[in-house]
Structure 1
Amino acid sequence: MSHLPSLPAADGLEDRLAALLGVHLIESRLAVGELTLVVAREAVAEVLQLLRDTPECAFDQLMDIAGADYPERAERFEINYHLLSMRHNRRLRIKIFTDEETPVPSVTGLFPVAGWYEREVWDCFGVLFAGNPDLRRILTDYGFEGHPFRKDFPLTGHVELRYSETEKRVVYEPVRLKQDFRDFDFLSPWEGMLPGDEKAQP
């Protein structure tokens, strides 16, 4: 197994991880104190195992798997694995890309908690995970059609279920999403009412 020289702090971590991952690494990004490594999709399980089992890394906790959709790209989905090393007090993000057809290797064999995370990404985005033993919906209702976190998912025309306290049963009804707030202002809402703030100007 490859080993990294011991690190007294985060100094040089980006370069040392690049040396460890070799050809699997596509790109590394350091922004606002957070390191993101873009790796080859087919090597994601091998990369996570290296990062978990190399003592100088010890990223032994998978905190989350999150998806993002960019429909204009050929590989429209980003899958982000958020790792934590308690031993070294470090966080790391591993990013891969995929499309609607190409499965991503499951990492449930490395991190059992990945089972539910992968189910959530599949349910919301439609990304397949090859090797997940229980890939079924986890957040939407049984029989739900489509994947609601995709950017092209329609806002109307679907049915939702909820428990009706007045009828004391589960009821199905058409989805009605208000369109009042579809014009987004991407400035921070916390700055909106401060004197002199650009959002406060007429």
Structure 2
Amino acid sequence: MSWPAAASELSKLGKAILKEAKGVVTGADVAFGELTLTGPRDRVVEALAYLRDVQGFQQLVDLCGADYPERSERFDVVYHLLSLTKNRRIRLKVSTDEDTPVPSVTGLFPAADWYEREAFDMFGIYFDGHPDLRRILTDYGFQGHPLRKDFPMTGHVEVRYDETLKRVVYEPVKSVEWRNWDFLSPWEGAERGFAATVLPGDEKGK
């Protein structure tokens, strides 16, 4: 099916969903050949149940977060669904802030268990009703949430193995002096076995 034809079909599907799931799904947009739905976070379980049981999107293939710090509700929680019978994908977005939890959908899609833990770990998004909401990718004493836009690139602490103490230690991040790269020659100062080999930038070392 061509892109315009596929976009037309998705547009029809979006309009049908908006009509049938009024109040549960509040927006539908087709872009780049994909249908994105939006809805209120407190009704996300109803929305996903409708998409699974009525529209035939049987699988939750991913759940992720996105951070927009300039918004009052800075986080989007994005649910990616797959219909094996229709060979079609769809996504649903809900928004939240740093303090307001999103209802967990683990009772509807057991696969959401680790996805929601990852969103909590990386973004600090809370999921109400999750059976075991704790970090999944970072360490137990980790501070902050690495995929937030305001999280420092260096992090807050560094972890290393101390040979004297014979254990892992946590220390504040030390500032490092960065090399001032000029991008002219990565080989400057390197010892090479073939004296006759001349590479661009070698003149800088003379």
Whether TM exceeds 0.5 here: the answer is yes
CA distance in 1, matches of 2:12, 2:153: 46
| Contact 1:41/1:96 (<8 A) preserved | yes
SS at match of 1:127: coil
SS at match of 1:110: coil
TM-score by length of 2: 0.73
Are residue 46 (structure 1) and residue 46 (structure 2) matched?
yes
Measured at CA, do residues 145 and 61 of structure 1 come closer, stay the same or move farther in structure 2, by a change above 3 Å? same
Measured at CA, do residues 178 and 16 of structure 1 come closer, stay the same or move farther in structure 2, by a change above 3 Å? farther
CA distance in 2, matches of 1:99, 1:11: 30
CA distance in 1, matches of 2:84, 2:58: 8
Structure 2, unaligned runs of 5 or more: 1-8, 179-206
For residues 151-195 of structure 1, what are the alpha-carbon distances to aligned partners after superposition, in whole Å with 9 as ceiling and x for unaligned?
A: 11122352244679xxx9756566579898xxxxxxxxxxxxxxx
Structure 1, unaligned runs of 5 or more: 1-8, 181-202
Range that drifts further, 151-160 or 103-112? 151-160
Shift of 1:118: 0.2
Measured at CA, do residues 162 and 53 of structure 1 come closer, stay the same or move farther in structure 2, by a change above 3 Å? farther
CA distance in 2, matches of 1:10, 1:160: 47
| Contact 1:26/1:39 (<8 A) preserved | yes
Are residue 112 (structure 1) and residue 110 (structure 2) matched?
yes
- Structure 2 match to 1:28: 28
- Structure 2 match to 1:132: 130
Measured at CA, do residues 51 and 157 of structure 1 come closer, stay the same or move farther in structure 2, by a change above 3 Å? closer
CA distance in 2, matches of 1:24, 1:179: 53
Please give the residue correspondences for 1:149-160 in structure 2 after superposition, counting only pairs within 5 Å. Answer: 149-156=147-154, 158-160=156-158
| Contact 1:155/1:177 (<8 A) preserved | no
Shift of 1:12: 1.8
Measured at CA, do residues 109 and 177 of structure 1 come closer, stay the same or move farther in structure 2, by a change above 3 Å? farther
The aligned amino acid for 1:128 is Y
| Contact 1:156/1:176 (<8 A) preserved | no
- Structure 1 match to 2:57: 59
- Structure 1 match to 2:143: 145
When Rg is computed on C-alpha atoms for both structures, the one with the higher figure is: 2
> Which portions of structure 1, spanning 4 or more consecutive aligned residues, are displaced by more than 6 angstroms?
176-180
The aligned amino acid for 1:123 is D
For residues 84-118 of structure 1, what are the alpha-carbon distances to aligned partners after superposition, in whole Å with 9 as ceiling and x for unaligned?
A: 00011110010000001110000000011101000
Measured at CA, do residues 176 and 47 of structure 1 come closer, stay the same or move farther in structure 2, by a change above 3 Å? farther
Aligned length: 168
Are residue 70 (structure 1) and residue 68 (structure 2) matched?
yes
